[in-house]
A and B are shown apart, each in its own frame.
Chain A
Amino acid sequence: GENVEQHPSTLSVQEGDSAVIKCTYSDSASNYFPWYKQELGKRPQLIIDIRSNVGEKKDQRIAVTLNKTAKHFSLHITETQPEDSAVYFCAANNFGNEKLTFGTGTRLTIIP
């Protein structure tokens, strides 16, 4: 089955700086890579996703890049704000079914 590794486990950045979270996956057949954000005490919610037919996708201050050859993908947050503080999870789908395998999460703290 799919295996997803996520780094770092914790990340602190100054407000206004950029944050990058990286994930690697094992199954070259995976073709869908979502990112979820979980604020303290709340449910995980999808913030951005990318499919394997594109290399980059942007949505305002958030971008995701995908390197299929190296089997890794990254979340980039620019001009960070206090409300970006949360736990972020990457995931990859499992070819042949509709399950997702999640990374272990990154706790992002924005320092005012």
Chain B
Amino acid sequence: DVKVTQSSRYLVKRTGEKVFLECVQDMDHENMFWYRQDPGLGLRLIYFSYDVKMKEKGDIPEGYSVSREKKERFSLILESASTNQTSMYLCASSLAGGLEETQYFGPGTRLLVL
């Protein structure tokens, strides 16, 4: 059974703080994703990684960066948090190769930036 975990369920940070969100998967998946979920906007892709140290911008990368030093771990970094980054952040992982494209999601981190 695939397990994707995120480091925090809830976070409260102040404007300008550096924020780290971590995601770990235990199924040896090559692909990992970070989304933000906002009411009425669905799931929007922030960054995508298809291998260790590889990353690709998604649809809304501005204000975010990522790090993938190990296959099982994918970190999302908010360099200087702003109030418009208050949101639900979801991590997901999937197998590479196109044969099994199911994305498995973590429980989400609800971030409030004050």
Residues of A in contact with B (beta carbons under 8 Å apart): 1, 6, 9, 32, 34, 42-46, 49, 89, 93, 97-105
User: Contact at B102–A46, with CB atoms within 8 Å?
Assistant: yes
Contact B105–A93 (Cβ < 8 Å):
no
Q: Closest residue of chain A to B33, judged by CB?
A: A99
Interface residues of B, Cβ cutoff 8 Å to A: 4, 31, 33, 35, 40-45, 48, 50, 56, 58-59, 90, 94, 96, 98, 101-103, 105-108
Nearest CB to that of A99 among chain B residues? Answer: B48
Instruction: Give complex CA distance A89, B31 in Å.
Output: 20
Number of A-B contacts (CB under 8 A): 53
Residues of B within 8 A of A105 (CB): 40, 42-43
Question: Is A34 a contact partner of B102 (Cβ separation < 8 A)?
Answer: yes
**In the complex, what residue of chain A is closest to B105 when comparing beta carbons?**
A43
Contacts A43-B106, A43-B107 given; indicate if A102 touches B42 (C-beta within 8 A). Answer: yes
- Expressed in whole angstroms, the Cα–Cα distance for A89 and B108 within the complex equals 16
Q: Which residues of A contact B35 (CB under 8 A)?
A: 102
Query: In the complex, which residues of chain A have a beta carbon less than 8 angstroms from the beta carbon of B90?
Result: 43-44
Is A44's CB under 8 angstroms from B43's CB? yes
Asked whether B58 lies within 8 Å of A99 as measured between CB atoms, the reply is: yes
- Ordered by A's residue number, 18 sampled pairs between the chains whose C-beta atoms are within 8 Å are A6-B42, A9-B40, A34-B101, A34-B102, A43-B108, A46-B103, A49-B102, A89-B43, A93-B101, A98-B94, A98-B96, A100-B45, A100-B101, A101-B45, A102-B43, A103-B42, A104-B41, A105-B42
